[in-house]
Structure 1
Amino acid sequence: MKGFKEFVMRGNLIEMAVAFIMGTAFGKVVEAFTNIILSLVSKVLGGEPNFDNFAPGGVPVGPFLTVTVSFLLLAVVIYFGIILPINKYKELTSKPEEAEEAAATETELLSEIRDLLASKQN
Protein backbone atom coordinates (compact mmCIF):
# COMPACT_ATOMS: atom_id res chain seq x y z
CA MET A 1 0.00 0.00 0.00
CA LYS A 2 2.89 2.35 0.76
CA GLY A 3 4.33 1.88 -2.72
CA PHE A 4 0.98 2.71 -4.31
CA LYS A 5 0.69 5.87 -2.20
CA GLU A 6 4.17 6.96 -3.30
CA PHE A 7 3.28 6.26 -6.93
CA VAL A 8 0.06 8.29 -6.76
CA MET A 9 1.64 11.17 -4.89
CA ARG A 10 4.67 11.33 -7.17
CA GLY A 11 5.03 14.83 -8.62
CA ASN A 12 5.08 13.75 -12.26
CA LEU A 13 1.77 11.92 -12.01
CA ILE A 14 0.02 14.86 -10.37
CA GLU A 15 1.51 17.32 -12.86
CA MET A 16 0.40 15.09 -15.73
CA ALA A 17 -3.13 14.88 -14.32
CA VAL A 18 -3.30 18.67 -14.00
CA ALA A 19 -1.96 19.06 -17.55
CA PHE A 20 -4.59 16.63 -18.83
CA ILE A 21 -7.40 18.51 -17.10
CA MET A 22 -6.11 21.86 -18.36
CA GLY A 23 -5.69 20.44 -21.86
CA THR A 24 -9.26 19.21 -21.87
CA ALA A 25 -10.56 22.58 -20.73
CA PHE A 26 -8.35 24.40 -23.25
CA GLY A 27 -9.60 22.08 -25.98
CA LYS A 28 -13.10 23.35 -25.38
CA VAL A 29 -11.87 26.95 -25.67
CA VAL A 30 -10.09 26.16 -28.94
CA GLU A 31 -13.16 24.35 -30.26
CA ALA A 32 -15.41 27.33 -29.47
CA PHE A 33 -12.93 29.75 -31.04
CA THR A 34 -12.62 27.55 -34.12
CA ASN A 35 -16.40 27.33 -34.45
CA ILE A 36 -16.56 31.11 -34.53
CA ILE A 37 -13.91 31.30 -37.24
CA LEU A 38 -15.45 28.45 -39.24
CA SER A 39 -18.85 30.12 -39.11
CA LEU A 40 -17.28 33.26 -40.53
CA VAL A 41 -15.52 31.23 -43.23
CA SER A 42 -18.71 29.40 -44.09
CA LYS A 43 -20.52 32.73 -44.51
CA VAL A 44 -17.82 33.92 -46.88
CA LEU A 45 -17.70 30.65 -48.85
CA GLY A 46 -21.46 30.21 -48.83
CA GLY A 47 -21.57 27.17 -46.58
CA GLU A 48 -19.49 24.72 -44.63
CA PRO A 49 -17.19 22.59 -46.80
CA ASN A 50 -18.82 19.17 -47.20
CA PHE A 51 -17.44 16.52 -49.52
CA ASP A 52 -19.31 13.58 -47.98
CA ASN A 53 -20.97 12.57 -51.27
CA PHE A 54 -17.74 12.69 -53.30
CA ALA A 55 -16.88 9.15 -54.44
CA PRO A 56 -14.70 8.98 -57.59
CA GLY A 57 -14.84 5.50 -59.09
CA GLY A 58 -17.18 4.37 -56.35
CA VAL A 59 -14.55 4.88 -53.61
CA PRO A 60 -16.09 6.93 -50.78
CA VAL A 61 -13.28 9.41 -50.10
CA GLY A 62 -15.67 12.30 -49.41
CA PRO A 63 -15.88 11.91 -45.59
CA PHE A 64 -12.07 11.75 -45.44
CA LEU A 65 -11.79 14.95 -47.48
CA THR A 66 -14.34 16.70 -45.26
CA VAL A 67 -12.45 15.78 -42.10
CA THR A 68 -9.11 16.70 -43.70
CA VAL A 69 -10.34 20.15 -44.75
CA SER A 70 -11.81 20.70 -41.28
CA PHE A 71 -8.51 19.67 -39.70
CA LEU A 72 -6.51 22.02 -41.91
CA LEU A 73 -8.87 24.90 -41.14
CA LEU A 74 -8.54 24.13 -37.43
CA ALA A 75 -4.74 24.06 -37.72
CA VAL A 76 -4.73 27.43 -39.51
CA VAL A 77 -7.00 28.97 -36.89
CA ILE A 78 -4.89 27.62 -34.03
CA TYR A 79 -1.64 28.79 -35.62
CA PHE A 80 -2.74 32.30 -36.54
CA GLY A 81 -5.09 32.80 -33.59
CA ILE A 82 -3.01 31.31 -30.77
CA ILE A 83 0.54 30.23 -31.65
CA LEU A 84 1.62 33.26 -33.67
CA PRO A 85 0.41 35.85 -31.12
CA ILE A 86 2.06 33.93 -28.27
CA ASN A 87 5.36 33.78 -30.17
CA LYS A 88 5.18 37.52 -30.92
CA TYR A 89 4.46 38.23 -27.25
CA LYS A 90 7.45 36.13 -26.20
CA GLU A 91 9.67 38.01 -28.65
CA LEU A 92 8.50 41.36 -27.30
CA THR A 93 8.94 40.40 -23.66
CA SER A 94 12.23 38.51 -23.96
CA LYS A 95 15.34 40.30 -22.87
CA PRO A 96 17.86 40.82 -25.67
CA GLU A 97 20.59 41.17 -23.05
CA GLU A 98 20.42 37.44 -22.32
CA ALA A 99 21.35 36.61 -25.92
CA GLU A 100 24.24 39.09 -25.82
CA GLU A 101 25.50 37.63 -22.52
CA ALA A 102 25.34 34.11 -23.95
CA ALA A 103 27.26 35.21 -27.04
CA ALA A 104 29.88 36.92 -24.90
CA THR A 105 30.28 33.82 -22.76
CA GLU A 106 30.65 31.65 -25.85
CA THR A 107 33.27 34.03 -27.25
CA GLU A 108 35.18 33.93 -23.97
CA LEU A 109 35.13 30.14 -23.92
CA LEU A 110 36.34 29.92 -27.50
CA SER A 111 39.14 32.37 -26.71
CA GLU A 112 40.22 30.26 -23.72
CA ILE A 113 40.22 27.11 -25.85
CA ARG A 114 42.28 28.87 -28.52
CA ASP A 115 44.79 30.07 -25.91
CA LEU A 116 45.07 26.60 -24.38
CA LEU A 117 45.67 25.01 -27.77
CA ALA A 118 48.26 27.65 -28.65
CA SER A 119 50.10 27.10 -25.35
CA LYS A 120 50.19 23.30 -25.90
CA GLN A 121 51.66 23.72 -29.38
CA ASN A 122 54.54 25.87 -28.07
Structure 2
Amino acid sequence: MDYVFLIIGSLVIITCFYFIISPFFSAGEVPAAGLETESEKLTLEQIYNAVNELEMDFLMKKITREDFEKLKENYQLLGAEILKEEAQGQKAKHLPGSKKKIKDAEAEAEILRELKKLRQQKG
Protein backbone atom coordinates (compact mmCIF):
# COMPACT_ATOMS: atom_id res chain seq x y z
CA MET A 1 0.00 0.00 0.00
CA ASP A 2 2.92 2.35 0.69
CA TYR A 3 4.17 1.86 -2.88
CA VAL A 4 0.86 3.10 -4.29
CA PHE A 5 1.12 6.35 -2.31
CA LEU A 6 4.75 6.78 -3.39
CA ILE A 7 3.86 6.31 -7.06
CA ILE A 8 0.85 8.64 -6.89
CA GLY A 9 2.85 11.26 -4.98
CA SER A 10 5.67 11.04 -7.49
CA LEU A 11 3.23 11.47 -10.39
CA VAL A 12 1.68 14.55 -8.73
CA ILE A 13 5.10 16.10 -8.14
CA ILE A 14 6.26 15.39 -11.70
CA THR A 15 3.02 16.82 -13.10
CA CYS A 16 3.37 20.00 -11.03
CA PHE A 17 7.00 20.34 -12.06
CA TYR A 18 6.01 19.96 -15.72
CA PHE A 19 3.37 22.71 -15.52
CA ILE A 20 5.76 25.05 -13.76
CA ILE A 21 8.70 24.54 -16.15
CA SER A 22 6.91 24.10 -19.50
CA PRO A 23 6.15 27.83 -20.16
CA PHE A 24 9.87 28.57 -20.12
CA PHE A 25 10.54 26.15 -22.95
CA SER A 26 7.49 26.68 -25.11
CA ALA A 27 7.88 28.94 -28.13
CA GLY A 28 5.10 31.49 -27.88
CA GLU A 29 4.06 33.92 -30.57
CA VAL A 30 6.60 36.69 -30.97
CA PRO A 31 5.17 39.85 -32.53
CA ALA A 32 6.95 41.16 -35.60
CA ALA A 33 9.32 43.95 -34.66
CA GLY A 34 8.70 46.35 -37.50
CA LEU A 35 4.95 46.04 -37.84
CA GLU A 36 3.17 48.84 -36.02
CA THR A 37 -0.43 49.64 -36.63
CA GLU A 38 -1.80 53.15 -36.33
CA SER A 39 -3.38 52.39 -32.96
CA GLU A 40 -0.05 51.14 -31.53
CA LYS A 41 1.83 54.36 -32.26
CA LEU A 42 2.28 56.76 -29.39
CA THR A 43 0.81 60.22 -29.59
CA LEU A 44 2.18 63.36 -27.99
CA GLU A 45 -0.74 63.41 -25.58
CA GLN A 46 0.07 59.88 -24.40
CA ILE A 47 3.70 60.85 -23.88
CA TYR A 48 2.71 63.95 -21.89
CA ASN A 49 0.40 61.84 -19.75
CA ALA A 50 3.15 59.29 -19.15
CA VAL A 51 5.56 62.04 -18.07
CA ASN A 52 2.93 63.49 -15.71
CA GLU A 53 2.33 60.08 -14.13
CA LEU A 54 6.07 59.58 -13.88
CA GLU A 55 6.43 62.91 -12.05
CA MET A 56 3.63 61.96 -9.68
CA ASP A 57 5.32 58.64 -8.95
CA PHE A 58 8.58 60.43 -8.25
CA LEU A 59 6.92 62.96 -5.95
CA MET A 60 5.23 60.12 -4.08
CA LYS A 61 8.67 58.47 -3.72
CA LYS A 62 7.69 55.38 -5.71
CA ILE A 63 10.75 55.61 -7.96
CA THR A 64 14.29 56.88 -7.47
CA ARG A 65 15.63 60.13 -8.88
CA GLU A 66 17.94 58.30 -11.31
CA ASP A 67 15.10 56.20 -12.70
CA PHE A 68 12.88 59.26 -12.95
CA GLU A 69 15.44 61.29 -14.86
CA LYS A 70 16.30 58.41 -17.19
CA LEU A 71 12.67 57.63 -18.00
CA LYS A 72 11.75 61.30 -18.39
CA GLU A 73 14.61 61.83 -20.84
CA ASN A 74 13.50 58.75 -22.81
CA TYR A 75 9.96 60.12 -23.04
CA GLN A 76 11.27 63.52 -24.10
CA LEU A 77 13.32 61.95 -26.86
CA LEU A 78 10.25 60.00 -28.01
CA GLY A 79 8.27 63.22 -28.08
CA ALA A 80 11.00 64.95 -30.06
CA GLU A 81 11.03 62.12 -32.60
CA ILE A 82 7.26 62.33 -33.01
CA LEU A 83 7.43 66.11 -33.43
CA LYS A 84 10.18 65.69 -35.99
CA GLU A 85 8.18 63.10 -37.93
CA GLU A 86 5.10 65.32 -37.89
CA ALA A 87 7.11 68.33 -39.00
CA GLN A 88 8.68 66.35 -41.84
CA GLY A 89 5.29 65.04 -42.89
CA GLN A 90 3.73 68.49 -42.98
CA LYS A 91 6.67 70.12 -44.71
CA ALA A 92 6.91 67.39 -47.32
CA LYS A 93 3.40 68.29 -48.42
CA HIS A 94 4.12 72.01 -48.81
CA LEU A 95 7.74 72.41 -49.86
CA PRO A 96 9.82 71.43 -52.88
CA GLY A 97 13.16 69.59 -52.49
CA SER A 98 15.81 72.17 -51.48
CA LYS A 99 13.54 74.28 -49.30
CA LYS A 100 12.41 71.11 -47.57
CA LYS A 101 15.97 70.34 -46.44
CA ILE A 102 16.37 73.83 -45.01
CA LYS A 103 13.05 73.63 -43.20
CA ASP A 104 13.93 70.17 -41.83
CA ALA A 105 17.15 71.54 -40.39
CA GLU A 106 15.24 74.45 -38.84
CA ALA A 107 12.69 72.07 -37.33
CA GLU A 108 15.43 69.89 -35.88
CA ALA A 109 17.14 72.95 -34.39
CA GLU A 110 13.84 74.07 -32.89
CA ILE A 111 13.29 70.64 -31.34
CA LEU A 112 16.76 70.73 -29.84
CA ARG A 113 16.11 74.22 -28.42
CA GLU A 114 12.87 72.98 -26.84
CA LEU A 115 14.66 69.99 -25.32
CA LYS A 116 17.32 72.30 -23.94
CA LYS A 117 14.63 74.48 -22.34
CA LEU A 118 12.98 71.42 -20.79
CA ARG A 119 16.30 70.22 -19.41
CA GLN A 120 17.03 73.65 -17.91
CA GLN A 121 13.61 73.70 -16.27
CA LYS A 122 14.29 70.27 -14.83
CA GLY A 123 17.69 71.26 -13.41
TM-score by length of 2: 0.30
Q: Which has the bigger relative contact order, CA under 8 A and spacing at least 6?
A: 2
Q: Whose helix proportion is higher, 1 or 2? A: 1
